[in-house]
């Protein structure tokens, strides 16, 4: 069996190596010629999987090691009898932790308490629901917006607010929707010049979902008029090309790596392995614990007065990614685009909060709410 895979997908050998020959390729460079005699195609979000790519191929299984599926033409796959699988929720914890880390860093810089802020979450799926659960357990007041959920179950209407209400009343607006162009609630340019104007004074706007959910030109014009609003962007409308003028006005700017925890990436590959085993009626002989390495730092004893940011910064500091990313934007356009992909390909190991066990502090309940493992004994 021949397996074509994005070169950035981890743990391919222990999960798929025994099934056939693996050929790794850059995700943006995959072509029909590569797939002529292939059986499996494993991709990430940068590869557009459509009828053109699959024309003349022998592929019978396509898997994307991502939450989002807007880069896959599932209708075309169904028409060709190709089985499809994705990895919903694989990196949801990592994205939630990106948002939490960004907020705690901003809170320290601006001397505010996250517990005093109203956080509005737009899109309460795998990522949004986990972020809401963690922040809610911490005691943060939440506003939730997800019209498709309300359409599916009108009894939930009392738990959600409209986008207009959320934009006008939340101190923090964080976006976690899929990218859709059709249907009752398309998300393309969901945030635009009209509702940006509704943002509160000193609001924080975060997009760690899909770039085109925010009209980047409208956001640039808005930011030039409203310097009070803090922007955190991990995704960009035309990535790998990044609007440099907009990036200059963004407080924390990163190259689509919010979900790039080691656990999230390996979990995505493992979910595709499970899906293929089900399709091929094979036993699942490898567990995720078999391939997930032990973290370099496994425990930390905290003082009583420790801040929430201290262990969070140890696990993930978004400013490290921000600094490297901004340096890449100094290159000419072609090299800048290549650098965007290189930063993702060579992303350093980042572990999720749960990999670190905390003890000693009287704030262990709060750290546990954020997602850390805790122990009452040292």
Residues with a known catalytic role? 210, 239, 256
DSSP string, 329-351: TTS-HHHHHHHHHHHHHTPPP--
- Burial, 124: exposed, middle or buried (Cβ in 10 Å; 0-12, 13-18, 19+)? buried
Q: Are 291 and 114 in contact (CB under 8 A)?
A: no
State CA 78 to chain mean position distance: 27
* CA atoms of 66 and 326, how far apart (whole Å): 25
Tell me which residue of 246, 258, 372 sits closest to 308, measured CA to CA: 372
Tell me which residue of 57, 47, 39 sits closest to 8, measured CA to CA: 47
Q: Are 59 and 83 in contact (CB under 8 A)?
A: no
**Which residues touch 331 (CB under 8 Å, ≥6 apart)?**
339
Q: Residue 148: count other Cβ atoms within 10 Å of its Cβ.
A: 16
Cis link prior to 240 (omega < 30° from 0)?
A: yes
* CA atoms of 196 and 216, how far apart (whole Å): 11
* CA atoms of 367 and 357, how far apart (whole Å): 10
* CA atoms of 104 and 8, how far apart (whole Å): 30
- H/E element, 64: strand 61-64
Alpha helix (H) residue ranges in the chain? 12-16, 51-54, 74-79, 92-110, 126-138, 147-152, 163-169, 193-196, 216-225, 244-248, 262-280, 288-291, 309-315, 318-328, 333-345, 364-370
Bridge pairing between strands 141-145 and 118-122: parallel
């Amino acid at each position: 069996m021949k397996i074509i895979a994005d070169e950035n997908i981890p743990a391919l050998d222990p999960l798929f190596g025994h099934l056939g020959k693996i050929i790794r390729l850059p995700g943006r460079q995959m072509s029909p010629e590569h797939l002529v005699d292939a059986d499996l195609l494993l991709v990430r979000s940068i590869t557009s999987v459509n009828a053109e790519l699959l024309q003349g191929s022998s592929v019978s299984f396509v898997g994307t090691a991502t939450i989002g599926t807007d880069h896959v033409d599932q209708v075309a796959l169904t028409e060709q009898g190709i089985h499809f699988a994705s990895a919903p929720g694989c990196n949801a914890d990592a994205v939630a932790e990106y948002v939490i880390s960004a907020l705690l860093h901003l809170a320290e810089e601006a001397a505010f308490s996250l517990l005093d802020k109203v956080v509005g979450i737009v899109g309460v799926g795998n990522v949004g629901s986990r972020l809401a659960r963690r922040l809610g357990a911490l005691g943060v007041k939440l506003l939730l917006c997800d019209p498709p959920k309300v359409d599916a179950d009108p009894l939930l209407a009392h738990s959600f607010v409209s986008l207009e209400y959320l934009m006008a009343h939340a101190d923090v607006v964080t976006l976690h929707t899929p990218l859709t162009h059709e249907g009752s609630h398309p998300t393309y340019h969901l945030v635009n010049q009209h509702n940006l104007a509704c943002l509160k004074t000193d609001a924080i706007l975060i997009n760690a979902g899909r770039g085109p959910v925010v009209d980047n030109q409208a956001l640039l014009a808005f930011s030039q008029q409203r310097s009070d609003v803090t922007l955190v962007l991990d995704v960009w409308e035309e990535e790998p090309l990044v609007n440099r003028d907009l990036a200059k006005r963004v407080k924390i700017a990163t190259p689509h790596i919010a979900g790039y925890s080691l656990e999230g990436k390996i979990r995505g590959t493992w979910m595709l392995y499970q899906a293929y085993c089900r399709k091929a009626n094979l036993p699942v002989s490898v567990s995720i614990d078999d391939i997930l390495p032990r973290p370099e730092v496994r425990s930390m004893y905290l003082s009583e007065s420790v801040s929430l940011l201290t262990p969070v910064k140890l696990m993930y500091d978004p400013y490290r990614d921000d600094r490297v990313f901004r340096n890449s934007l100094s290159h000419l356009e072609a090299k800048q685009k290549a650098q965007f992909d290189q930063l993702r390909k060579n992303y350093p190991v980042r572990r999720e909060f749960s990999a670190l066990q905390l003890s000693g502090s009287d704030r262990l309940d709060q750290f546990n709410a954020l997602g850390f493992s805790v122990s009452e004994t040292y």
